Amino acid sequence: MSTYPKPPEVTVTGYPASSAPPPPPPFTASTAYPYPAPPPPPYAAPYHHPYQPYQSPYRLFLRPLMIIAAAVLLAAGITTFIVWLVIRPRLPEFSVSSASVSGLSTDAQSLTASFNVAFSVRNPSKKAGIGYDGVEAAVFYGGDSVVKTTLPPLYQGSGNSTIVRARLVAVGTYVPPGMVKGIADDRAAKGTVSFGFAIRAAAYFRSGAWRPRQHLLTVYCDGVPFRFANSTAGVFSGPQKPCKVYFV
């Protein structure tokens, strides 16, 4: 009797082999339904209505009008500036050439006097004349007004020099007590009293058809000494006293 060799022993590790049948294949769309899935419906974006502010017809009319007005003003300013550079107007020159006071008398709070003054006025501009309207002249002492008056208008051509005379009369005019004492003390101690003069006017330059707006002209002539030969009359005899000129 023949015998078969005994197969070698094989050591097997891990889990024992399963005797269950294999799992079915995965369930796919192709096997579930023969047609492709329909696409999703199109997304409708919300429609926004932008807010349109109410436009007033007056505002629509005024906006271009304001732009035009600004352009005209700018052009006029540039033109005036260019003409100013070409003509080069200069400030007038003022000085006190002569002056006198008579009938000066004071009491506790009033003053009486008659002032006569001659101003030398020169226009140094070579291409422009200068005019003065609404001219006023005044006398001061120590910063306080004594008397003032109005003068006629004046026009000077280029390079012109002229004398402007003014008469200012104060009759019993109220003045601060300190002014009365100051005048009396100056006259007694030094024999001279210093008064000041001022001129104000609306001035303008002119060259042909060019005439810009008026400016306020202010002239100050401080410390004009009057020598008194007696208690009531004093004279300023020179030399000429230059004045300060301001143009605004």
Per-position DSSP letters for the chain, written without gaps between them: ---PPPPPP----SSPPP-SPPPPPP--HHHH-SSPPPPPPPP-PPPP--------HHHHHHHHHHHHHHHHHHHHHHHHHHHHHHH-----EEEEEEEEEEEEEE-SSEEEEEEEEEEEEE---SS-EEEEEEEEEEEEETTEEEEEEEE--EEE-TT-EEEEEEEEEEEEEE--HHHHHHHHHHHHHTSEEEEEEEEEEEEEEEBTTB----EEEEEEEEEEEEEESSSS-EEE--S-EE-EEEE-
Burial, 96: exposed, middle or buried (Cβ in 10 Å; 0-12, 13-18, 19+)? buried
How far is Cα 237 from Cα 128, in angstroms, rounded to an integer? 32
Q: The CATH number of 93-247 is which of 3.10.580, 1.10.3470, 2.60.40, 1.20.950?
A: 2.60.40
Delimit the domains of the chain by residue range.
56-87, 93-247
Q: What is the pLDDT of residues 84-107, one digit of tens each?
A: 666 778 999 999 999 999 999 998
pTM attached to this predicted model: 0.67
Residue 85 confidence (pLDDT): 66
Q: What is the pLDDT of residues 10-56, one digit of tens each?
A: 555 545 555 556 665 555 544 555 556 667 666 666 655 566 666 66
Residue 207 confidence (pLDDT): 86
Residue 177 confidence (pLDDT): 86
Mean pLDDT by 10 residues, the chain (248 residues): 52 53 56 60 61 65 82 78 72 97 92 97 95 97 94 96 97 92 92 96 88 90 94 91 94
Residue 3 confidence (pLDDT): 52
Burial, 53: exposed, middle or buried (Cβ in 10 Å; 0-12, 13-18, 19+)? exposed
- Total Cβ atoms within 10 A of residue 113: 23
Residue 211 confidence (pLDDT): 73
Residue 248 confidence (pLDDT): 84
